[in-house]
């Protein structure tokens, strides 16, 4: 079974790269012109989201440099210590909804420090895969298409991130024990 999956994985993308243009040419779709038009639209979108990205990056930098993140983690730490959750993963609960690159770097540091088979490494990895960069998604994608009222999406996204964080901890303790 593993051999079949490896074979499909190795050939899926090359087959699609060859098949799609051939099929488009067969259907008489102007392949190159369509590609250029799509690239032009992509460039326009990239230019539109730059102000939103810069604003978000500045806000993240201010949040971390001001000590606000350390304050929030310090406030949460006693509760999580009491219920037996490794407090080393708490910054990940705050970073993950804000920044994908920052949370991945933090997860990498945790895994290097504690090991991939430690409970901290397992929880960090599970959180990384079970939550999303909510603020990034709302800032970039909503900003790109001009949605200004994102309050409900923000609330649902952050609640989903909190549920994903808590579920990651619970599932890691259920699967891997204490």
- Report the distance separating Cα 31 and Cα 137, nearest Å: 30
pLDDT at 1: 67
Give the pTM.
0.69
pLDDT at 122: 96
Q: DSSP alpha helices (H): ranges in 66-150?
A: 68-82, 90-98, 100-114, 119-130, 134-137, 143-145
pLDDT at 57: 76
Give every residue of the chain whose pLDDT is below 50, as ranges: none
pLDDT at 107: 93
Please return the burial class of 49, using the count of CB atoms within 10 Å of its CB with bins 0-12, 13-18 and 19+: middle
pLDDT at 142: 82
Residue with tokens 């990205």: 53
- Report the distance separating Cα 100 and Cα 62, nearest Å: 17
pLDDT at 163: 96
């Amino acid at each position: 079974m593993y051999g079949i999956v490896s074979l499909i994985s190795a050939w899926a993308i090359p087959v699609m790269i060859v098949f799609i243009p051939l099929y488009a040419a067969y259907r008489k779709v102007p392949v190159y012109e369509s590609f250029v038009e799509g690239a032009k639209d992509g460039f326009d979108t990239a230019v539109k989201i730059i102000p939103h990205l810069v604003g978000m990056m500045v806000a993240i930098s201010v949040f971390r440099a001001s000590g606000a993140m350390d304050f929030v983690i310090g406030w949460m730490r006693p509760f999580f210590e009491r219920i037996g959750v490794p407090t080393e993963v708490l910054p990940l609960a705050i970073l993950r909804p804000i920044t994908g690159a920052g949370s991945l770097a933090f997860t990498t540091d945790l895994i290097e420090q504690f090991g991939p088979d430690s409970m901290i490494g397992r929880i960090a990895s599970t959180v990384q895969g079970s939550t999303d960069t909510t603020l990034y998604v709302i800032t970039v994608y909503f900003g790109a298409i001009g949605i200004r009222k994102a309050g409900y999406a923000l609330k649902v996204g952050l609640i989903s991130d909190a549920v994903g964080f808590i579920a990651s901890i619970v599932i890691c303790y259920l699967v891997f024990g204490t």
